[in-house]
Structure 1
Amino acid sequence: MLFYLITIIVILIDQATKIFVRLNLAMNERVTWSGIEFTYIENSGMAGGFFPGFARVFGIISVLFVIFIFYLRRSPEWRGPLIDISLGFLVGGAIGNGVDRLLHGQVTDFIVRSGGILNIADHALEIGIVLFIIHEIVQWLKRRKRVKDE
């Protein structure tokens, strides 16, 4: 249930903020709110603007990624609070950007960071990756402890 809840929340927040930006900012318009800089751009490639014009291909890759995660989740090893949260962020982010890529041929980005201009789905993907790495380290430590105890 946690996996689905996080996935849905990420998708809703991501799509709502992108719609808000598209309706209220002009392309390349720059604003600052509560100390956070926002600049509205559209990205037809992937992270950092690499491979421009391939948005629909990356959209299909997003769909395949989501299908793969649902397949993995059939196994008990891919269940539990931490992995549910991690995969919820990953799937929510993939769907959020996948929707943009497949429907619009580009992704709306607007949150300025030192590494570029991102969106909520991008941040969700980053959180999901960090949590996945933590999950894998915890699992490795548990396996190591079991081997020592035997």
Structure 2
Amino acid sequence: MTTRPGERRFSFSVGAWRWLWLSLGVIAVDQYTKTLIMERFDEFESLVLLPVLDLMRLHNEGAAFSFLSDAGGWQRWMFIVIGLAVGAGIVVWLRQLPAKGRGLLAAGLALVLAGAIGNVIDRILWGHVVDFIRVHYQEWYYPAFNAADSAITIGVGLLLLDSLLDYRRSRR
């Protein structure tokens, strides 16, 4: 099919669309691991894996570090809207990226997208996010997290690294 001058044809080959496969894979892993935890653990039940690492099923109705978890329920819908808006913005950004040469940025965006959507799915289905990885040392406990949260953290790290490398390239 040919296009007329000035007409744009939608194509998955344009932009960094191939990175959406990374997002889909991470979302699948996130949902699969959460399903395993929900099938095998009751809430607050735990399994010690290492002296500093447990699997423990927890439900987070808030955002990072349980922010707004006791807000009464309205936060569920706000976090769903924010997650979907962030996801839509990232999809548009990926669409506009060149297909080659911006892999670090695209990978970071794909991971943040996967994490946001993974947690939105939980909020839609259950009204809370299922967390299950708990890192601790003696009496100190880091807030529990899941694969989606890990994807967001790694993705943001890649975005920061890409930005730093861009800055260094622009100074040369």
Given that 2:115 and 2:149 are in contact with CA atoms closer than 8 Å, whether structure 1 keeps it comes out as: yes
**Which residue matches 2:66?**
49
TM-score by length of 2: 0.78
What's the secondary structure of 1:117's corresponding residue? coil
Q: TM-score, normalised by structure 1?
A: 0.89
Report deviation, 1:56: 2.3
Answering whether residue 23 of structure 2 is matched by residue 7 of structure 1, we say: yes
Cα distance change, pair 78–132 in 1 and its aligned pair in 2 (3 A):
farther
* Residue of structure 2 equivalent to 1:148: none
What stretches of structure 1 move > 6 A for 4+ residues in a row?
Answer: none
**When you count helix as a share of all residues, which structure comes out higher?**
1
2:42 alignment partner, one of 26, 36, 57: 26
Quick check: 1:2–1:85 contact (8 Å CA) kept in 2? no
Match of 1:98 in 2: 120
What root-mean-square deviation, in Å, do the aligned CA atoms of Structure 1 and Structure 2 show? 1.7
Structure 1: how far apart are the matches of 2:38 and 2:77?
Answer: 20
1:1-150 equivalence runs, <5 A? 1-33=17-49, 36-52=53-69, 53=73, 54-76=75-97, 80-113=102-135, 114-145=141-172
Gap runs ≥5 in structure 2 = 1-16, 136-140
- CA separation of 1:82 and 1:51: change in aligned 2, threshold 3 A: same
- Extract unaligned runs of 5+ from structure 1: 146-150
Q: Which has the larger radius of gyration?
A: 2
Aligned residue-pair number: 145
